[in-house]
């Protein structure tokens, strides 16, 4: 599974003019399932996200995790993270999981996140979403958990 994390001061997701997910300080996690991913990869990705030390400590060093700072987590599905741009000007998304599998893994990820962290908001799978955020830092971190072989 893939994720792009953005440390934010605030973030929200809007669908059809309605805000459906919103957090204050924390992380916006754009997530994508690839072919071969299973709930095990989703669980590993979530564990990395929750424990990744990208928040400042008292000395201003990145030593605190999302859990340490009790920040919000906004989870948004984004299949375009699996884009292959090596073959021309039009990206291929053939590495992304099929929509049914992608949605099941996204829902698993969200349920696991809600069980492990107190503040979890989401976008809507396969919706046309508008994501608004204030990137803090800016800090943007890509993560990839490869499928088990």
Q: Which residues are catalytic?
A: 78-80
Helix axes 39-51, 99-116, angle to 10 degrees: 40
Evaluate whether 36 touches 77 at the Cβ level (below 8 Å): no
Nearest 10 degrees: Cα torsion 42, 144, 13, 28: 100
135 sits in which H/E element: strand 130-144
């Amino acid at each position: 599974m893939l994720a792009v994390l953005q440390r934010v001061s605030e973030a929200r997701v809007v669908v059809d003019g309605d805000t459906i997910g919103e957090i204050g300080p924390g992380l916006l996690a754009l997530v994508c399932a690839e072919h071969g991913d299973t709930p095990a990869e989703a669980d590993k990705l979530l564990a990395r996200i929750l424990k990744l030390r990208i928040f400042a400590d008292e000395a201003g060093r990145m030593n605190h995790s999302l859990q340490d700072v009790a920040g919000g987590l906004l989870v948004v599905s984004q299949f375009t993270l699996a884009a292959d741009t090596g073959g021309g000007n039009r990206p291929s998304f053939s590495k992304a999981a099929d929509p049914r599998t992608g949605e099941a893994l996204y829902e698993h990820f969200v349920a696991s996140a809600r069980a492990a962290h107190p503040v979890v908001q989401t976008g809507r799978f396969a919706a046309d979403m508008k994501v608004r955020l204030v990137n803090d830092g800016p800090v943007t971190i890509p993560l990839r958990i490869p499928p088990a072989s």
